[in-house]
Structure 1
């Protein structure tokens, strides 16, 4: 594993390097923050042409597509509404953990438009900015990417544009044209209707030519099948994992099908490498890393979980495997992903620590033990965190204020990796010794 890969796995900032292109037959993966030439699309592309392919996915159907326009005149929906809200959800926004009616004064409107302009200027010189001004990119991601710009920014941050190559290469179409493993395809079909209550994936009644009512196929359903199938073709060793479906669906809500595929590929093969492999050893390793980081930031919670034998794999698996898509309120999730695609998996560690601390909020071990006397109460709190507590600004602020350094992540990653290697070596030695003893005890033939 390269130095940059080790740093990314440990949660450190991965400084970008100039990446080379690829041919259609071999898919290469960039580091979490990669350097992509803006000229790959069009040397003279302006803001509007760059956003043409992305805007319709993220502006809630509003004409101008700016963050301000998407907040004005929205039908926010209700608990029983069949009208999609500004994010496309039916029946109200996902988890409804944030205000529906944020007010914007003229100064805020001006600031939003100015931020959109700055982001487009930064993307125009993406290669230069990722090489020379990475800290500026990181700072703007931490402040939150404007909604109109977010799909394009995510695509560039994760290296989707580099992986995608030129639009006429046809690589994605080639993956789709292959048959695929029947087992994976069957699993994908089983999971496809278990995703978000979002207009992209739900059938809507329309008037038929005969005057009756019929279901209109949801626009995102086939695209979701395509993305998951294509990934199983590109990476047959991993194939398909159920946790990939919500991530793919989440990406489809923000960008076109092919762009979403390459972003999914980058996330699965670079950011969360090893998470979806048989045995899920990497998720277990990261669970141990998380647990020891918890000891540093909240020793009283660490003590409670240790006493109750609450293993991290019991509560953090869905958080990491599904990239928090099924855990956080929508606006909080978007902000966490803004940082994750820029800084790497260390953001998920920090988000997990924040969720743990907010789910078990007592300040002392004695109070924790009284409030959560058994493993049952503790796991209930961790697996079902209060959505009202996970408000966007609070979570982001706590993530940024956690007293953890890059060195903390690197040290804990190295320590846990070495610990696992020693444990595996002991098992191998014990098995070898047992085999030798068994051979020695066999009576010679008569």
Structure 2
């Protein structure tokens, strides 16, 4: 990777000293006077010199570990620094040619994938603490909200101090603390990770920090030098990811460009999976708490299974893992809430109609953001089972109302849960009351057996005519 910049044409100190010396060497003519005048003009208006810095980037196959300084993730706004034109200095000494560019302005405008009517940033509108535009202003009295905010701030500061002691500087004490106090870690994660430490802790519990350290320069190589067949589709979809968040609202802004880079890089990194629409919400959520490169490797850790079971089956052709999860979830609903399960059967409601996006986006698509964050805290540490638990908790919370609704109203209710049902302090304790780990393993084995039986039956049906013909020929 190569970057370009400008420096001033200033004189070295030795040259300045010689120009002021009273001794003259050689001829003293009009040409020397003109030379001095020209130098004086250059000193007043120095001509900029273009220089090139060449930075070697290893190929995507390099996986050697390297020693790096303690790395602090930059905020999302800093991600725009990746979009500088890159120049390659040819060995022949000719003018440098453009090798690659992360700036997608030209590509977006050329393909016209984003409509001109796309909303831009709305700086005059109020936003919440997460950066989402508020639909309306709160009507709570100032005194109550002020006292509540002071109490919450003090409690949050105490939690932050506990978490800092637990993880150490840059996460140096994390692994030791987890081995020594696993139950404390689990309890604190379920209560919620402090927002200011969330990005770092997510990288630690997902295993993405280790992946990043073992693959230096790979992300930059994927973004700069590789091309993806999904680029047009990615450009078309990025404006649909968190459209009410100020970081992603600006057309061609740093948020959309960073999101494009991550999705494009992953589609090159895993060409078998490529890009699927639901990935944008995963990558967008991660971008709000870490840099581009950190978010990319966390996405890799999730889909490839660095700690928990790999999730890439959610996005492969045919969505095989989505079908498995929905089958398991349907069985769990029938076991834990038989009355509601029977009502679903009567109204011909199946999990495909309402729960697919729960698994594909891990509740990051249409749920309140504060609930999404709390779910992700537990999801990254405990795995996919929390998605089943939260789904069951939502149905249990609204059980009495759901069993009374006809098809259309029932489907609407399953896609639009009331605000009180999405309070994480109420919903998550209810979710953790469902013990599903062992049952999920059993249901997975049953599903695989049924799948194998179905494939064997279908293959035997295809082979039966051939077998019959072969037998008849042998008899003849």
- Specify the TM-score bucket, using the shorter chain as the normaliser: 0.7 to 0.9
Closer, same or farther in 2 for the Cα pair 1:26/1:134, shift >3 Å?
A: farther
CA apart distance, 1:106 = 6.2
Closer, same or farther in 2 for the Cα pair 1:87/1:123, shift >3 Å?
A: same
Q: Structure 1 CA distance, aligned partners of 2:67 and 2:176?
A: 14
- 1:235 maps onto 2:278 in alignment: no
Q: Structure 1 CA distance, aligned partners of 2:453 and 2:420?
A: 43
Closer, same or farther in 2 for the Cα pair 1:435/1:190, shift >3 Å?
A: farther
Mapping for residues 302-341 of structure 1, pairs under 5 Å = 302-341=341-380
- 1:186 maps onto 2:232 in alignment: yes
Q: Who is 1:83 aligned against?
A: 126
Mapping for residues 60-139 of structure 1, pairs under 5 Å = 82-92=125-135, 101=145, 103-104=147-148, 108-124=152-168, 125-139=173-187
Q: Who is 2:405 aligned against?
A: 372
In the alignment of these two chains, the number of paired residues is 360
Q: Who is 1:73 aligned against?
A: none
Q: Structure 2 CA distance, aligned partners of 1:40 and 1:111?
A: 37
Secondary structure of the residue that 2:418 maps to in structure 1? coil
CA contact (8 A) 2:192 2:374 kept: yes
Q: Who is 1:260 aligned against?
A: 295
CA contact (8 A) 2:76 2:291 kept: no
Gapped regions of structure 1 (runs ≥ 5): 1-22, 29-36, 58-78, 204-214
Which structure is larger by alpha-carbon Rg, 1 or 2? Answer: 2
CA apart distance, 1:117 = 2.2
Moved more, 129-138 or 330-339: 129-138
Q: Structure 2 CA distance, aligned partners of 1:286 and 1:202?
A: 33
Closer, same or farther in 2 for the Cα pair 1:351/1:327, shift >3 Å?
A: farther
Q: Who is 2:61 aligned against?
A: 25
CA contact (8 A) 2:156 2:194 kept: yes
Closer, same or farther in 2 for the Cα pair 1:310/1:243, shift >3 Å?
A: same
Q: Structure 1 CA distance, aligned partners of 2:73 and 2:316?
A: 36
Q: Who is 1:201 aligned against?
A: 248
Q: Structure 1 CA distance, aligned partners of 2:461 and 2:147?
A: 66
TM-superposition CA deviations, 1:343-401 (whole Å, max 9, x none)? 00000111111223334434xxxx82xx2233x33222212223442112111121112
Tell me the TM-score normalised to structure 2 length. 0.68
CA contact (8 A) 1:354 1:399 kept: yes
- 223, 236, 242: which is aligned to 2:258? 223
Mapping for residues 270-419 of structure 1, pairs under 5 Å = 270=305, 271-362=310-401, 368=403, 371-374=404-407, 376-402=408-434, 404-419=435-450
CA contact (8 A) 1:80 1:91 kept: no
CA contact (8 A) 2:73 2:291 kept: no
- 1:432 maps onto 2:463 in alignment: yes
**Cα RMSD over matched residues?**
3.4
Secondary structure of the residue that 2:370 maps to in structure 1? helix
CA apart distance, 1:234 = 0.5
Gapped regions of structure 2 (runs ≥ 5): 1-58, 79-121
